Amino acid sequence: MRASTRPARDHRAMDHDFIARLRAQLGGPRDGALLRYSLGNALLAHGDTTGAAVALREALDFDPHYSAAWKTLGRALAQGGDTPAAIDAYERGIAVAQARGDVQAAKEMGVFLARLRKAAS
């Protein structure tokens, strides 16, 4: 097996490149819930909870029935320290997931919601 001759790339640089590529597509023909969700998820992975929450809310503007976006929005808000907004996102996400029959997403958000409520009390 040959060792790679390509230099290792800094993961932070790759994250920035990926985020920049996603942002470049905003407002274009591929813009929509999935693109905004992907951007929010990438920003959250990068530690930008505020930017992630903005992108995820924009994803939900495109598709308010996007269970995964509600779940990730709740996580971004919780990690950003906005517990009341995170609780609201999870509650709304659970209602959406249940209405769509997305049992697993509803269960996951229910667990996260219970943890937040316990920590808040």
Residue 9 pLDDT? 47
Put residue 47 in one of left, alpha, beta given phi > 0 → left and psi -120 to 50 → alpha: left
Looking at domain 11-120, its CATH superfamily turns out to be Tetratricopeptide repeat domain (1.25.40.10)
pLDDT in tens, 44-70: 999 999 999 999 999 999 999 999 999
The pTM assigned to this predicted structure is 0.85
Per this entry, what is the length of the chain? 121
Asked whether the predicted pLDDT for residue 8 surpasses 60, the reply is: no
What 86-94 contacts at long range (C-beta under 8 Å, 24+ apart), as own/partner pairs, is 86/116, 87/113, 87/116, 87/117, 87/120, 90/116, 93/67, 94/70
